[in-house]
């Protein structure tokens, strides 16, 4: 169980890094390097920014919850 949670934390960390790096630092949506123009045409500029921001917060929350659960399991073991 502990190994599964550790691998899950690592996956969430990598996804969080990717999502943060894809975002434009000025808040303009997806970076053009990663196909942002096509994504903005499909989703719309405002919707892609909202999606990336929500995804960042969800991944952050998942990371914190996973870390807390893992620390509780390690403390009991």
What is the model's pLDDT at position 37?
Answer: 54
Q: What is the pLDDT of residues 28-40, one digit of tens each?
A: 555 555 555 555 5
């790096």: which residue's tokens? 21
Residue 33: the pLDDT is: 55
Give the Cα separation of 57 and 75 in Å (integer): 27
What is the pLDDT confidence band of residue 23, given thresholds at 50, 70 and 90? confident
> What are 37-64's pLDDT values in tens digits?
555 555 555 566 788 889 999 999 999 9
Q: Which residues contact 24 (CB under 8 A, 6 or more apart)?
A: 30, 31, 36
């Amino acid at each position: 169980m502990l190994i599964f949670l550790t691998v899950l934390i690592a996956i969430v960390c990598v996804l969080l890094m990717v999502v943060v790096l894809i975002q434009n630092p000025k808040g303009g949506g997806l970076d053009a390097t990663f196909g942002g123009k096509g994504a903005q045409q499909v989703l719309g500029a405002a919707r892609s920014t909202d999606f990336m921001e929500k995804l960042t917060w969800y991944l952050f929350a998942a990371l914190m919850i996973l870390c807390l659960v893992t620390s509780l399991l390690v403390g009991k073991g």
